[in-house]
Structure 1
Amino acid sequence: FALRDHTAAILGVNVSRLKIVPMEIGGGFGGKGQGGCYLEPVVAALSRKCGQPVKIAMTRGEVFEGTGPTSASHIRVKLGATREGKLVAADCTLVYEAGAFPGSPVPSGCRTMLAPYEVANSFIEGIDVVVNSQKAAAYRAPGSPTAAFAAESVIDEICEQLGMDPVEFRLLNAAKEGSRQPTGPVFPKIVLG
């Protein structure tokens, strides 16, 4: 109902005056969960203006061009580990570009970057930066791949410095049932293998 609610708010009408008929399924590349709407208010305004139903059909290229770019990001990861390879501390800052309005995928990056690991002491700061550009949109696990790449790259560097096998390091530090995620929730049962 988010699409209906956003469209009603943009047009200044009651939600009961709108009928949303979803047609496209699959292939959303993350954009369907973004919570924003781009074409729907335009279609509704055109329909109201001409007094007839209106449909806009876009090619895949037009969808990509019309919904906004993915977020630019700057991520700083500082991890501490013992000589035995146990992760003991994390200090991370994720800065994501939102475009013209707040709402970058920085929360997803914060939730996922250290999620596979048990880190006793962690601080993760997420910053949503508004800039003078098109509103950022979601593509393929918005916010998560860049954050995971940053954390995993640092873990690879730690493994190299310690002379430790990267798989062994990751298994040693893997989150377990009852591990607290850096963002607060506790993991339920986890099965590896």
Structure 2
Amino acid sequence: MEIAIIDYGAGNIQSIKFAFQRIGINPVLTHNSETILKADKVIFPGVGEASSAMKKLKATGLDVLIPTLNQPVLGICLGMQLMCKFSEEGNTNGLGIFDAEVKKFSNKVKVPQIGWNQISALKTDLFDGISENEYMYLVHSFYAPICSETIAISNYELDYSSALQKENFYGTQFHPEKSSSAGQRVLENFLKL
């Protein structure tokens, strides 16, 4: 199975690579359109800032390619947020895959949210074998509100989407690659989609 990790300078690539190697998959790190199109599954990672990340995607044409992909695609953290239509971070237009506008947590809570938080209201096979209220690891200052594409919810100041799905596109606000055995199960489930 060919797994492509989209390389656009995002910060969590090595830990994602190691997470897949632990389950016997050696993913390829690439920004080559043909390699991405031919892959069985695509990972769209992200640790960073939305507006500069979108500039990098536009510079390589990945902003046009990603929404056209037909195989299962998993956006992680900033990757998921960039799949939304807009982010308040740098007032950035996203890829428009998910019908959500990413917002910043208020100053009433410590930002960023760093650490373990529960996910609930789990939907789709991405969460097969994952318990309601399972803990996942998160690091983020911005969130996607609850919408029709929400497939998991977390609470930090308010309920927000900790995972989204539309057709072949999936996104997790949490980092499955840093979320112990439960996160590894999410990656294994993604490989089975």
User: Shared topology, TM-score over 0.5?
Assistant: no
Give the structure with the larger helix fraction.
Answer: 1
Give the structure with the larger strand fraction.
Answer: 2
The structure number with the bigger radius of gyration is 1
